[in-house]
Structures are given as structure tokens and as C-alpha cells.
Amino acid sequence: MTGFDGTPAAASVVALHCSLGSGRQWTKLAAALGGDRFLAPDISGYGVAACGRDWPRTLDGEIARLEPWLAKATGPIHLIGHSYGGAIAFRLATASAYASRVRSLTLIEPVLPTLLRDTPADARLYERFAGIAQVVSQDIFDGAVLEAVEAFTAFWAGSGPREQFSPSGRLRMIEQADKLPYDFNAALDLHGVAAAASALKVPTLLMSGGLSPYVTQRIVAKLAAIIDGAELRHLPAAGHMLPVTHAERVNPEILRHIWRAEELAKLALAGDAGATETAQPAGSARPHLVMRRPSFWE
């Protein structure tokens, strides 16, 4: 997408948080990026969007709820998503009205469990995820919210130490835990992940932590093998909450990825402009400049 003067239109950054989180998760990233084109909305059921109980059961429904925020994202979009927010970001980039405007995609351990149903070994990971989804959801339906939050946080702690939440933080999680069954349902309802991933044609950065649940590490590894030209960054000492606990490592990678996508967009624009120039007269001494687009711009 270009501006009226033929230069790349100013891009927006949209960052989507995890379940039981809020847009405040991205405070440090927002500060690092600067400017007023950074959008970190609260996903339905969390933060300022916690009111009500008529929550979406699909990722498309989540996108519809985000529409007022997405409408503010003028120009191309650098899309970032973590965990459940990563699943929403993936859907946005592959099957939404905004897909054609995505200039770069960053997925940090996206919750895309149906990608793991292809092989027997991966199917066991899928069944484990579906099992914890059932346990947490049933506890919430039975009114055992404390047990649900405990099971949820224990699962996402992976092989790392259990996170110590402040009293206010734990209270917030308990108050918003009713949304978790909807998040699980939406993630487990998405089909055709591999096909959608293989069709992605935007610069993609994938990130994972070595202490995270193996299910999300495996999802990231499979996406890296499927998405053409995807970059993979693995932090062995980080857990699932790496964009928060390891922001000093994660944020520079995101900034670098966005910068590279912007540079590639300029190259593509220059290539288009060069193709429309008047042909040089025969015998011209000035050599032709051939600019070839990267594969994901084809």
C-alpha cells in the first residue's frame, strides 16, 4: 500500500495479548516503538473489554469484536500476537478482510493446536491440550474457578518455575476466568491451519521459549517448517510468557523484524516504479537496474 506521493504509506502496529491478559502486556514494546500508531486492544473478556458475557466462540468472532480497534489501523499493518492473541493474529493474517494489508507477522507461541493432529506423535500433544481445555472448562462450569485458574497456570508454566502472581493479579485472573472456555473453543475450532500457513506471503517471525509447554514449542517448530521464509527465534531459558519476562530479548527481535519488512516494502515499491520507467534509448551507457522481489511478495 502506498501514499498519494508514491511512498510507502505509514504503517500501524497491532499487538494482541494472551488469555487472562490485557493490552498492557505490550507496554514496553509500545515505548520501544514510539509514535501513536501502536494499537494494543484488550481482547473480549479481558481488561476494559471484560464486561458482559456474550463472548465469541470462534477466532472470526474475536476479530469482529476487535473491529473498532482494527478500523483505527490505517495503512499497512505489522501484526503481533502472543498465545491466544497469536491465534487471532494468525487468523487475521490468513483469512480476514485485513489479510492483504498485513506487512509483517510476529507470532509468539500461538495457540493453534489443530496443527498437531496430522501425525500420531503430534496428535498426543493435541490430545493433551484438548484435555487441559476440558479440565479448565469443566471446573469453570462447575463453579470451581480457583481450581480452573490453578490448572490453567500450571499447564502454561511448562517445565519452568510457577509464576508468583500478586494478590491483585490473581484476583483479576479469577474474575476473568469465565472467558477461558470460549478461548479454548475458538482455538480448537480452527481447521486448515497448515494450508493457511503454507499460503502466507508476508515476512513472518516465530518465537518460542525452551521452558514453555512442549505443545506450543512444537506448534512454532511446525509453523517454521511450513511458512515460506519464516524466521525462528528460540529462547531456551524463557517460558510461555516470554514477551513479558524476556521483553529485553523479544522486543528487539520484533523491532528488527518490522524494520526489515519496511525495507522490503520499499524495495518492492522501487521495483514497481522502475518497471514503469521509459525504456532507455539504444546505446545508452547507463546500466539497467534490476530489482527482484522477495518470494513472499510474489
Mean pLDDT, residues 125-150: 97
Residue labelled with grid coordinates 519452568 = 160
Q: Classify residue 137: in a domain, yes or no.
A: no
The model's pLDDT over 18-73, given as tens digits with 9 standing for 90+, comes to 999 999 999 999 999 986 699 999 999 999 887 778 999 999 999 999 999 999 99
Q: Classify residue 220: in a domain, yes or no.
A: yes
Which residues span the domain enclosing 41? Answer: 12-113+192-266
Q: Which one, of 139, 204, 201, 207, lies nearest residue 174 by Cα?
A: 139
**Distance in angstroms (rounded) separating the CA atoms of residues 186 and 295:** 32
The model's pLDDT over 140-152, given as tens digits with 9 standing for 90+, comes to 999 999 999 999 9
Q: Classify residue 211: in a domain, yes or no.
A: yes
At 89, which CATH number?
3.40.50.1820
Q: Classify residue 147: in a domain, yes or no.
A: no
Q: Classify residue 235: in a domain, yes or no.
A: yes
Q: Classify residue 27: in a domain, yes or no.
A: yes
**Distance in angstroms (rounded) separating the CA atoms of residues 217 and 280:** 53
Residues 6+ apart with CB under 8 A from 179: 19, 20, 44, 45, 46, 50, 55
Residue 221 near residue 110 (C-beta atoms within 8 A): no
Q: Classify residue 35: in a domain, yes or no.
A: yes
Mean pLDDT, residues 257-269: 90
- Counting the structural domains of the chain, the total is 1
Write down the pLDDT at residue 169. Answer: 80
- 187 CB neighbour count, 10 Å cutoff: 24
Q: What sign has the CA pseudo-torsion 116, 224, 193, 84?
A: positive
Residues 6+ apart with CB under 8 A from 107: 81, 86, 89, 90, 204, 205, 206, 207, 220, 223
Please report, as a single letter, which amino acid is at residue 160.
G
Is the predicted pLDDT of residue 298 greater than 50, yes or no? no
Q: Classify residue 34: in a domain, yes or no.
A: yes
